[in-house]
Chains A and B, each alone.
Chain A
Amino acid sequence: DSGVTQTPKHLITATGQRVTLRCSPRSGDLSVYWYQQSLDQGLQFLIQYYNGEERAKGNILERFSAQQFPDLHSELNLSSLELGDSALYFCASSASGGITDTQYFGPGTRLTVL
């Protein structure tokens, strides 16, 4: 158990809908990262937050947004869902968000778009 929690575990929804994925980092960690894992693309970085502020953005679609709250939990919002958004979404956390930090991953949310 990494100490990172994610809810829900599974999410099934229809195209065009909007969903919110939630992540709580390890105790004491200030930085949160979101990754998407699909069968053909592997693990892809989406976005990083540090202490409530956006730090880095990867290949995140405009339909996706995220935020980190004062209690350090983070939410990833996915809207206008398409079939291709079906994937595993992972949250990771690290102590300071620094370049040598180790990232610890949560158990993931499996999103299925029908």
Chain B
Amino acid sequence: EDQVTQSPEALRLQEGESSSLNCSYTVSGLRGLFWYRQDPGKGPEFLFTLYSAGEEKEKERLKATLTKKESFLHITAPKPEDSATYLCAVQASFNQAGTALIFGKGTTLSVSS
């Protein structure tokens, strides 16, 4: 069964204090690992897709990396506006033609000034 586990559940940082969020996954044939940002009461906002081990993508203060068993979201010198829940998901196949995202429970990041 495809599964995604994120850690830690919650993370508190001071502004400028870099850290990493972890996403470990078990899936039969990875077809994409996705990172989303979600603000309270809002829809998930797409950040990155990673397809193969060794791949890295960057956007502003965020960098996502992928290995064969896990992905990391590195946050460099975070600001209070980076406070949100970060969700990791893998693409799973359903039946033979269908597809869906399997999500982890997320890491809630709080950055204080």
Interface residues of A (CB under 8 A from B): 2, 4, 33, 35, 42-45, 48, 50, 55-58, 88, 90, 92, 97-108, 110
Contacts and interface: CB of A to CB of B under 8 A. Distances in A.
Contact of A99 (B32, B44, B45, B46): B32
Contacts of B49: 100, 102
B99 A98 contact: yes
Contacts of A56: 94-95, 97-100
A107 B99 contact: no
Looking at chain A's contact residues, the main secondary structure is strand
B95 A2 contact: no
Interface of B: 31-32, 34, 36, 41-46, 49, 51, 87, 89, 91, 93-95, 97-106
A2 B45 contact: yes
Given A55-B98, A97-B97, A100-B91, 14 more contacts: A2-B45, A33-B100, A42-B103, A45-B100, A45-B101, A50-B97, A56-B98, A101-B99, A102-B34, A103-B46, A104-B46, A105-B43, A108-B42, A108-B43
A90 B43 contact: yes
